[in-house]
Amino acid sequence: MVFKDWYRGLLRFLPKSMLSKFNVVDHKKNIPLLNLFNEEEKKQLEKLIGTEINDISYYEQAFTHRSYLTVLKTENIVTHSNERLEFLGDSVLGLIITDYLFNFFPDIKEGDLTKIRSRFVNKHTLAFVSNKIGLHKFIKISFGTEKNFEKAGEGIASDAFESLVAAIYFDAGIEKAVTFLYDNLIPLIGMDDFMLDNNYKSKLLEQIQSKGKRPPIYSVISTEGPDHDKIYKVGVYTNDSLLGTGLGKNKKDAEQQAAKNALEKGMFIT
């Protein structure tokens, strides 16, 4: 398997005194069995991921949001949220997608491959797939977080997807992780909605600089709503001229909408 070969290759360069620490990788040390899923839920999850589950504890941690740790109240058991698995899953996911794009698009340059990959490993796409296949049914979150799920749900859903990839990798191997992504994420490649470059800020910057003008500056014009549910209005400017405005639940999204508005108006072209 590619990961094992890569891992063994790295070990060749370590001092012999350190090798003993790596001979046995005990990634189960802090992944205890918590009995969060009954037998029926386990069968549903097996159907969803397309493979038999050998050790359910990996998947329990993959779906445990940090807010749920206060609910567990486990004694004398070290438990973690899915953040550690998310960290690993991000890399496993990135490798598999990169490998696919490298072979599927042999004539596309590195820079364009990087842009395409970014559209398939960002939280928006991963949350879309996560919700589409029904991962939300398995995610364990606190009652307070559940009430605000609409606002924070995209991040929770995308994190759960990456964590699940890591769980499959640990429990069933890299081949099963590849199959899972080929069945659920990679089919989006080639679909217009996902192949479009939606980084409007990057597009605007390129077009403005091509006209010899100063880079755009983004500034919050106003905010509305309570602290926990603010709506930001952002303006984008160049050479002291307002090019466009945008609204969003955070500054980043509002800036993207402002850049999109500026591109649609095309005021910077003249």
Residues annotated catalytic, as ranges? 90, 162
Residue 175 identity: E
3-state SS, 147-166, equals HCHHHHHHHHHHHHHHHHHH
Number of C-beta neighbours around residue 28 at 10 A: 12
Please give the DSSP secondary-structure letter assigned to residue 15. Answer: -
Cα 61 to Cα 165: distance, rounded to the nearest angstrom: 12
Residue type, 185: L
Cα dihedral 17→20→25→29 (10° resolution): -100
Instruction: Tell me the C-alpha to C-alpha distance, in Å, between residue 197 and each of 79, 93, 200, 204, 260.
Output: 40, 20, 8, 12, 11
